[in-house]
Structure formats: structure tokens, C-alpha cells
Structure 1
Amino acid sequence: MSDRRKFIKTAAFGTMGLATVYACQQKKEEKKDVVKKELNKPLIISTWKHGLPAAEKAWETLNNGGGGIDAVEAGVMISEADPNERSVGYGGLPDREGKVTLDACIMNSNSDCGSVSFLQGIKHPISVARKVMEETPHVMLSGKGALNFALSKGFKEENLLTEKSKKDWEKWLEKSKYKPVINIENHDTIGMLLLDENGDLFGACTTSGAAWKLHGRVGDSPIIGAGLFLDNEVGAAAATGLGEAVIRTAGSAMVVEQMRLGKSPAEACKEIVERIYKKHRNHKDMEYLQVGFIAVNKNGEYGGYSLRSGFDFAVHDNKGSRMENAGFKMEWN
């Protein structure tokens, strides 16, 4: 064999060897990354500080053998029942007629979902939404129909207007000026996202909506694709803030689609907040516009982002529970 042939043969084997080593090393790194990501399950994230006890309740439910849908329902019920949370459930600030009207939705890993809007007199709309999902052929029930359905399922009708909220409403009546107050002092809505040990996603969202709204107004929170959305192959997202802006952009569904395109949860949230800003920067709502999103993907990565500062969210995983601040585009004026 000539020297030239020997050189070509040796070089070829050398290249093959290097390629094999590189491939093995790459597989090891990929495997290491997968293991690292899988360690972040189960994972629960929820909006605002009142999302912390809610996430803790959801975690407790999982540890006691409950499923993901049981956990998100039990979690957000904590906020719904707390009269000190003025924008969720019992004790929520009323509409301009003094009526507390509630919106909620819930969604499981199979994309089954249930929703109620403009519901009055029922403390836990999230539980009614679950009944809609599991016991009807529909996704959403509204108003009197939602109330009648709830009563038929054994829910108790009760007055949700606390004395504190009633006094605030009476004070508002003195000027009767409607201007949404959605900022760092008014933590509206609770959205909760859960990734369980099997890698399945679940979500819930519930609110009493904007204070002093027109009677009959419905925000984004009960709308699948706006206030909440998940795709069990990709990830999940939930919204908070001015519902009209979220509805106009199908906010949560768009966050999930950004994750489908390869963005991280935080990057996906930021992308849609930027989109909302561009569409609203010359809009009449811009002076008080605040929107924020939380998101989680199938690998247990999570994140959040808001238009203005002040948005934080609760995280509960194997490291424990904590609050984290979301990134934001601008400060409040």
C-alpha cells in the first residue's frame, strides 16, 4: 500500500473516531440536560402574593394523592374564599350596581375545559367551572344560566358583598367615575399553572373582575385562550391585568404558541407583552394599562413578564415556596 493510501485510510479512521467521541459526548450532555429539567417536576406557579398560599394548598393536595385538576381547583379556592382579596371571589369589589360578579375557568391536560362568567352568589366559581367541564357538553355557562346550573349541582347561593367592599362602593358612588385601577396596589385575578410528576399540565383562573365595571362586563379570565391556555405538548400560560387588552390579543394562547416556536416561558411572555404594547400605545386604555403573564413549559422551565413594574408571582417546587419578580417593560409614571 502506498504512503498516500495509508495516510488517507489513517485520516478517515481518525475522523470517524473523533466523530464517535463527539457524538457520545453530545449524547451525554443531552442526557444530563434532560435529567436536570425533569428534576423540576412537579411545579406550581400562580400570580401575585395571594398566589403563595394558593400554591401551597395545591402542593399539599398533590402530596395527599390528589390529581392535577384537584390541586389547581383547591389552590385558587383559597383566594376565592379570602375576603381580604378584593379582586377575587368573596369580598371582591362590585360592579357599578353594587353586584359582585365572578368569572373563572379551568383546563386539564387533555384540553378539556370549563368556564363560568357573570356568575353571582356562588363563592367558588372555579368549582362550578369544573362541573361545567366534567358534567356538560359545553365549555362556558354565563349569568343566570350559570347560577341555575350551580344550584342544580348543590352549590349554596350567598351574599358575596362584604361590608368593607360595600363601603368602598358607596364611596365610589359619590363621583361614579369609572377608571380601572390596575397597578401594584391592586393585585387582580389569580391564575395558576401546574406541571405534575408525569409531565402533564393543568390550569385555573378566577376573578371578580374590574371594580365598578358595567353590570354584565366579562373580562379575559373565563375565556380559554385569553386568560388561560395550555397545550399539553408545549406548555401553559395565564394572564393578569386589563382583560380587554388580553382578549384583543388572545394573550395566553399566543404565549403558548411562542413557546411552541422555541422561546423560553419568560421570552414568550415578553413577546406577547410587547405585542400588546404596540397595539395599545395610542389606545385610550394606555394610561392605566397593565398586563402580565406567567408561563411554564413541559421541561419545568417557568417565567413571567409584565408591561409595567410591580408584577410578582408565586413558585412552589421541590425547593419549596417563594415569590419571584417578573421582568417588565416600563415603570409606572
Structure 2
Amino acid sequence: MTYGIIATWAMAFEGISNAAKDLAKNGTIADNIEATIKKVEDFPFYKSVGYGGLPNEEMIVELDAGFMDGDNLDIGAVAGIQDFANPVSIARALSTEKLNNVLVAEGAAKYAQKMGFERKNMLTDRAMTHYKNRLKENSQGSESGIVPYRGHDTVGVVGVDMTGRIVSGTSTSGLFMKRAGRVGDSPIAGGGFYADSEVGAASATGLGEDLMKGCISYEIVRSMREGLSPQEACEQAVNELEARLIKRKGIAGDLSVVAIDKNGDYGCATNIDNFSFVVATDKIEPTVFIANRFAGKTVHKKASMAWLENYMQTRTAPLIEK
């Protein structure tokens, strides 16, 4: 029997570590993916997910999340939801509904309220400081108007448990200074996430507007169905989408993906420098890897202790209003 779980970004390490222990004891992948994402959502220093997430141009935190059960292809998603602690849990609940699986803004909030999910002011003082600093930078610099932060720290988690069930989940606060109501790829099935227990699952992080154009998570799973390994499928999806975007537009945004198949084999591909991901399987203890691309191939290297310490120090360092 095999199990495996992989997540975007080093911020998921603690959640993945907990999940690995539970999966080894026949825990369910659905519960562990939700729990892993909630760990990230609840930590205020991860400024792109959940509590402490960066706000939109009106200084409002709007959250997106998606969840897909590969056994029955059920999906659930919320977009633009405000003031609820764990959007991934709301998305999972929606995946169990017969209809109305994707809800946005006020409709998502009404559903969450009715179902008893925790209400919480998701805008922290630290996030407000980031916001005020960005406003000052824009007013004093060469940029005109409010320019979105082009980071891409969506937490995306995919995995398989010992029963063969495969699940994919995502959560994000989206682009910093985005327009009110903007939705990226994270809550879009096939874009930010996809799962099929007959094959595998994938999740994406990066510039949502570009990731959606390639239906990239679905494409990875489709390629695995046709015989590609998770690594081959990830690299093909990123390289082909980037090439198409450059050919049509002259530019491509940040594109990073992770995937796993029904055998617990995993893959990752990226078009940026130093993309981090976390993986744990019945053969690999929870490990943070750093991915870089060379000549169209993504190479993974285990993160050093110094890198990991710097990662946390950078994110938890005191923030002063400029």
C-alpha cells in the first residue's frame, strides 16, 4: 500500500509533516489535505493565504479556495469570500452538495454562515502595514496607480492515501492590491486544481490569469492518463503553456505546478527561480525541495537548513510602516 502528499511552497511543511504521520496510519487524504491547508490559512505570517492574507485595492481581504475529490469528481469552491477563517473547509463542504458547488462573495458568505463556519476578521495589522507601504511606494515611484503584487504563494496540496483515493485542494488571498472581485485560477477546477483517482492530481500556483489560459491542472492529469509520469506531465504543461503565451502575447507570467499519481509518484515544474515545494510519501520523509529550471527541465534540490531558517526569518521579520 502506498501514500503520498505534495504541496506548493515551504510554508506547507508543518502540515505535510502532520499529514504524513496520519496517512501512514491509514488516515484519509481528504482530511489531511484540508488540515494541511488550514495550517497555512491560520498562520498570520504567510501573507498570501487565509488570516493575514494581503488585501485588495480597497484594503479588503477576499479569499479563494477549491477542493476536488478524485473518487467521484466532486468539486467545491469559494471565491471572493470575506471574514471566514478557513475557506478550504467551506470549499470541501460545497463539494458534498448535489448542486451549487461554486459560490462567490456574498453567496459564499451566506452559505458559510448557515453551515456554522467560523467568522473572523482576516485583515491583520501586519497586512495593513504592507498595504500602506505599497500605497506610498506607488505614489512616490514610477508605477502609476495601484499595481498588483506579482507573488504567487497559493497553497496547493494534492495526495493519495492507502485506499487509492486522490484529492486536490487550494487556498489563497490572491494578488495583492487586486481589483475588488478579482478571481484567479485557485478556485477554478482544471485551472488551479484537479483530481481523478484513476490517474492522479495536480495543483498550480503563479499568475492566475495565465494559468487559467492553459487549464493547466487538468492538462497535467490528462497527460498522466496518457502515460506520462507526473514529472514529465508537469514539465510538458509548463513549457507548452509558457511557449504559447510568449508566442501570442510576447510574455508569460509565473507558472509553477505540483502533481502526484495513483502510485504515489510526484512531479513539479516551474518557470521561475527557487520555487519551493514539500513532499512526503511512504518512501520519503517530509522534505522541502527547491526547484529551478535548466534548458526546459526542472531540477529539484533538497533545501538546506540555512535556506529553511532564512525562509521563516524573512516571513516573520518585524514590519515597520514606511
TM range (shorter): 0.7 to 0.9
| Conservation of the 8 A alpha-carbon contact between 1:91 and 1:162 | yes
Residue 125 of structure 2 is aligned to residue 156 of structure 1: no
Name the residue aligned to 1:132: 94
**Within 5 Å, which residues of 2 pair with 1:150-189?**
150-174=112-136, 175=138, 176-182=145-151, 188-189=153-154
Give CA-to-partner distance per residue, 1:141-169, whole Å, 9 cap, x none: 11000001001111232211110110111
Aligned-CA RMSD value: 1.9
Which runs of no fewer than 5 residues in structure 2 stay unpaired? 139-144, 297-322
| Conservation of the 8 A alpha-carbon contact between 1:308 and 1:329 | no
Name the residue aligned to 1:301: 265
Name the residue aligned to 2:218: 253
Alpha carbons of structure 1 residues 195 and 285: separation in structure 2 relative to 1, 3 Å: farther
Alpha carbons of structure 1 residues 285 and 82: separation in structure 2 relative to 1, 3 Å: farther
Distance 2:248 2:57 in 1: 24
CA drift of 1:231 comes to 1.5
- Pick aligned residue for 2:280 from 293, 298, 316: 316
Alpha carbons of structure 1 residues 291 and 330: separation in structure 2 relative to 1, 3 Å: farther
Alpha carbons of structure 1 residues 301 and 64: separation in structure 2 relative to 1, 3 Å: closer
Distance 2:289 2:267 in 1: 9
Q: Which amino acid counterpart does residue 166 of structure 2 have in structure 1?
A: L
Residue 293 of structure 2 is aligned to residue 328 of structure 1: yes
Name the residue aligned to 1:194: 159
Name the residue aligned to 1:48: 9
Larger radius of gyration: 1
| Conservation of the 8 A alpha-carbon contact between 1:294 and 1:302 | yes
CA drift of 1:283 comes to 6.4
| Conservation of the 8 A alpha-carbon contact between 1:61 and 1:70 | no
| Conservation of the 8 A alpha-carbon contact between 1:304 and 1:327 | no
- Pick aligned residue for 1:81 from 37, 42, 46: 42
Give CA-to-partner distance per residue, 1:183-216, whole Å, 9 cap, x none: xxxx511111111112221111111111110000
Distance 1:282 1:209 in 2: 26
CA drift of 1:282 comes to 5.4
Of the structure 1 ranges 221-230 and 58-67, higher mean CA displacement relative to structure 2 is found in 58-67
Alpha carbons of structure 1 residues 63 and 97: separation in structure 2 relative to 1, 3 Å: same
CA drift of 1:62 comes to 3.5
CA drift of 1:235 comes to 1.0
Residue 238 of structure 2 is aligned to residue 277 of structure 1: no
Name the residue aligned to 1:71: 32
- Matched residue SS, 2:20: helix
Q: Which amino acid counterpart does residue 207 of structure 1 have in structure 2?
A: T
Residue 26 of structure 2 is aligned to residue 58 of structure 1: no
Of the structure 1 ranges 89-98 and 108-117, higher mean CA displacement relative to structure 2 is found in 108-117
Name the residue aligned to 1:114: 76
Of the structure 1 ranges 107-116 and 51-60, higher mean CA displacement relative to structure 2 is found in 51-60
Q: Which amino acid counterpart does residue 80 of structure 1 have in structure 2?
A: E
Distance 1:316 1:307 in 2: 23
CA drift of 1:179 comes to 4.0
Name the residue aligned to 1:292: 256
Distance 1:198 1:300 in 2: 12
| Conservation of the 8 A alpha-carbon contact between 1:73 and 1:127 | yes
CA drift of 1:63 comes to 5.2
CA drift of 1:248 comes to 0.8
- Matched residue SS, 1:281: helix
Distance 1:272 1:257 in 2: 10
- Pick aligned residue for 1:226 from 147, 169, 191: 191
| Conservation of the 8 A alpha-carbon contact between 2:158 and 2:168 | yes
Distance 1:300 1:247 in 2: 26
- Matched residue SS, 2:61: coil
Q: Which amino acid counterpart does residue 251 of structure 1 have in structure 2?
A: I
Name the residue aligned to 2:309: none
Which runs of no fewer than 5 residues in structure 1 stay unpaired? 1-37
Distance 2:10 2:129 in 1: 25
Give CA-to-partner distance per residue, 1:58-117, whole Å, 9 cap, x none: 234435664221111111100000100010000011011001010001111221111111
Alpha carbons of structure 1 residues 321 and 96: separation in structure 2 relative to 1, 3 Å: same
Residue 212 of structure 2 is aligned to residue 264 of structure 1: no
Of the structure 1 ranges 84-93 and 109-118, higher mean CA displacement relative to structure 2 is found in 109-118
TM-score (norm 2): 0.84
TM-score (norm 1): 0.81
- Matched residue SS, 2:268: strand
